[in-house]
Amino acid sequence: MTKGDDSLPLYRSIATDIQTAIERGDFADGSTMPSENELTVTYGVSRGTIRQAFAFLRSTGVVSSRRGARRQIRSGPRVQSMSELVSFSLWARSLGETPSSRTLSVGAVPASGFVADKLGVPEGANVFHTHRLRLLSDVPTMLESTYYPESLAPLIAAIDLDTQSITDRLGDHGIVFADAEHAIAAVAATSGEAELLGLAPGAPLLRTIRRTTNPLGEVLECSIDLYAAESVAFVVRNSLAAGGTSRVGSRRDT
């Protein structure tokens, strides 16, 4: 293994170097990784930094670990199905990860033309906005920018956004997220997005624009989510009876 890229945070640089070694075939799928002690000597860093690197590799699906056992190589990123509607927290727990959030901003904002169209409200109308960094086992994985109708503002404002799931808490009030449409595109990270996700500027991201409704078809949210591309793969299951898949051009200015 070689020293990593100085443009990345140290733990990410080490994680990238380890992943490159795996892709190069230095480690076979299912084999065990060197110990933390061995890697601290190799990279000249603390065990805490090595553990951060392993946490990131675990969140991207490159390695797995069990209590009391060495970490093992596994191929492929985390998979998220587009065929079922689940919250980030539920998805994280299904992977054996611990979900958490860091709230970046929250409050009422005027709806842009894009958001107004998605929520079905007049442009400039007040909507409630949450902007969060979502983490898998303390590793930054996704930036989530979500807009809600103003009627939901009092309920969402009462939620601890860093530790609780909005979907779960609204469900406690009988508000059900029933259906969603997703538009997925590949985009490049801005400098601000890259800094929050621990990536290099221009790194590839997977952007999903989600519009979710309740069982009556009333819009509950519009969310613009940015995933580190190496952290997740989306799976869509189609059938002939279900019709085709639409492909449209995308713009970055949302």
What is the helix (H) or strand (E) element at residue 42, kind and residue range? helix 36-43
Smallest Cα–Cα separation from 55: which of 46, 63, 47? 63
Q: What's the confidence (pLDDT) of residue 98?
A: 78
Q: What's the confidence (pLDDT) of residue 198?
A: 84
Q: What's the confidence (pLDDT) of residue 250?
A: 44
Distance CA 10, CA 198 (A): 10
Smallest Cα–Cα separation from 19: which of 69, 68, 53, 43? 53
Is residue 74 packed enough to be buried (19+ CB in 10 Å), middle (13-18) or exposed (0-12)? middle
Q: What's the confidence (pLDDT) of residue 251?
A: 46
Q: What's the confidence (pLDDT) of residue 228?
A: 85
Pick the CATH number of 10-73 from 1.10.10.10, 1.10.600.10, 3.60.150.10, 3.50.50.60: 1.10.10.10
Sign of the torsion angle spanned by Cα atoms 161, 156, 167, 132: negative
Domain boundaries, the chain: 10-73, 78-236
Total Cβ atoms within 10 A of residue 124:
11
Total Cβ atoms within 10 A of residue 31:
12
- Torsion angle of the four alpha carbons 36, 98, 106, 187, in this order, in degrees rounded to the nearest 10: 70
Q: What's the confidence (pLDDT) of residue 247?
A: 46
What kind of fold does domain 78-236 have according to CATH? Chorismate lyase (3.40.1410)
Distance CA 177, CA 244 (A): 24
Q: What does each of the 254 residues of the chain score in pLDDT, given as a tens digit?
A: 555 555 678 998 998 888 888 777 777 666 778 888 999 999 999 999 998 888 878 766 677 654 445 666 755 555 554 545 556 767 666 667 777 889 999 999 999 999 999 999 999 999 999 999 988 777 888 899 999 999 999 999 999 999 888 988 999 999 999 888 889 899 999 999 999 998 888 988 989 999 999 999 999 999 999 988 777 766 666 555 555 455 444 444 44
Q: What's the confidence (pLDDT) of residue 26?
A: 78
Q: CA of 154: how far to CAs of 72, 79, 127, 170, in Å?
A: 46, 34, 12, 11
